Structure 1
Amino acid sequence: MHDAERIVQAQLDAYNARDLDRFIACYADTVKVFRFPSQQLAIDGKAALAEHYAENRFNRPALNAELISRMGLGNTVIDREVVSGVGDATIDAIVIYQVADGLIQTVWFVDAQ
């Protein structure tokens, strides 16, 4: 496992533990999150990311992201995940992470919904 994959795995482990501090520590202060195919920012910055996950994810006791597959190339990691516990249905998603300086800099979510 290379460095980019290690930080992505660390954030996934923190996500499933609903450990906001450990989760947020994996991201750059200037992290940008997009919902593909939109080119508009969904979340801009670490503070906004922390607020979103505190209010919309980590407060859900059944939250879980199951890693289906992962591939990495250089500083890019692509995960296929199935997320449950957010709503009534599971979310089948591809998540693309761009990593630099040991932290996640940019995230693109592609979901089947």
Structure 2
Amino acid sequence: MPPIVPSSPLTPEQVVEGQLRAYNAKDIDTFMAYWAEDARIYQHPDTLLASGVEAIRARHIVRFQEPNLHGRLLHRVAVGATVVDHEVVTRTFPEGPGTVEVIGIYEVTGGRISRAWFTLGTPVLS
């Protein structure tokens, strides 16, 4: 059964919040419901990491296998269709568990994330 996404229009901030909640729940179907079919993910500023929902899904299915995965929102700014999140993400890196600061910039079009850019800090191992 497909995930239930509210039928009333969501604000860009609500879209980004919904995908963060689904990310933390490791709920791939709900997570993907917030992404446009032709969405693209970049390492800021212009290194393409994933293009289209299938590539984004595949990338996150792997990520969701990490037992300690969690994004903790520190600050969010929304202006028009752009939402910027500052997070600390707990992950399992190849070197071991730890955290990394992340800036995520999301462009929301038609109630879905159409493009996202990420800047990562230096991982800090636990």
Q: Residue 6 of structure 2 corresponds to which residue in structure 1? A: none
Give, in whole Å, the separation in 1 of the partners of 2:91 and 2:48. 24
Any idea what SS the aligned residue of 2:115 has?
Answer: strand
Give, in whole Å, the separation in 1 of the partners of 2:111 and 2:52. 16
Shift of 1:65: 0.2
| TM-score (normalised: structure 2) | 0.84
Shift of 1:90: 0.6
1:20-74 residue CA offsets vs partner (Å, 9 max, x unmatched): 000001000000111013x23111111000001001x111121100000000000
66, 80, 83: which one aligns with 1:77: 83
Q: Residue 49 of structure 2 corresponds to which residue in structure 1? A: 42
Gap regions ≥5 residues in structure 1: none
| TM-score (normalised: structure 1) | 0.93
Gap regions ≥5 residues in structure 2: 1-9
2, 15, 18: which one aligns with 2:26: 18
Give, in whole Å, the separation in 2 of the partners of 1:111 and 1:85. 12
Give, in whole Å, the separation in 2 of the partners of 1:86 and 1:20. 18
Q: What's the Cα RMSD here?
A: 1.1
AA of the residue aligned to 2:86: R
Q: How many residues align?
A: 110
Any idea what SS the aligned residue of 1:11 has?
Answer: helix
Q: Percent identity?
A: 35
Q: Residue 100 of structure 2 corresponds to which residue in structure 1? A: 91
**Structure with larger Rg:** 2
